[in-house]
Amino acid sequence: MKPEIEAKFLGIDHAEMRKRLELSGAALVHPVRAMTRVNLDFPDRRLNAVDGWVRVRNEGDKVTLAYKQLESRELDGTKEVQVTVSDFEDTVAFLKAIGMNQENYQETRRESWRLDGVEIELDEWPWIRPFMELEGESEEQLRTAAGKLGLDWGVVAHGSVEVAYLAEYDVTEQEVDDWKEITFGPVPGWLEKKRRA
């Protein structure tokens, strides 16, 4: 598995960031598209026990199958191995047929840009403010891109999407992982009660 070298910036105004991206010379790679994902584990949750999971993601123009493992909340703390597959539903059915359980279903929206070799994703997830993710080959490369975009490296977040939910709600990572569905629509009442002031 290889490390993902990525940084998240939470609470980003995407309209303003698009202007900054255009002014910086970034290239739009893929306009906003809807994405769906299913995360799976074995019945004994052996992957969860090592902060790992299997993900099938429909990215709009392709479908990917990945094993991801969170080793730390550092810049390169998430490890991943990923392949492209031909069909979302068939891949999920295959994994269930070999004994895996669907842990959850998630909907998102993503717009992709590239700046000096850095992949930049403008992400929208249900119930939280939009954020962005930078992924590249090194911390220096990410810091340079962040600087060009006027981002404060002092507030960067690392790791999977749980960090965005933890920033807005009084919940634990395990609670977020245990939500069976994250879909667009009003914030559920049980979650709204946990919103941070």
Q: What DSSP letter does each residue of 49-82 carry, written as one string?
A: GGTEEEEEEE-SS-EEEEEEEE--SSTT-EEEEE
Any idea what the CATH number is for the domain that residue 157 is in? 2.40.320.10
In a domain, 68, yes or no: yes
Mean pLDDT over the full length of the chain:
96
In a domain, 111, yes or no: yes
In a domain, 197, yes or no: no
Q: What share of the chain is helix, strand, coil (3-state, %, to 5)?
A: 25, 40, 30
- Residue ranges making up the domain that contains 17: 2-192
pTM of the full structure: 0.92
Tell me the C-alpha distance between 126 and 186, whole Å.
Answer: 8
Per-residue pLDDT of 166-178, as tens digits, reads 999 999 998 998 9
* Conformation bin of residue 35: beta by default, left when phi > 0, alpha when psi is -120 to 50: beta
Number of domains the chain is built from: 1
Per-residue pLDDT of 57-96, as tens digits, reads 999 999 999 999 988 888 888 899 999 999 999 999 999 9
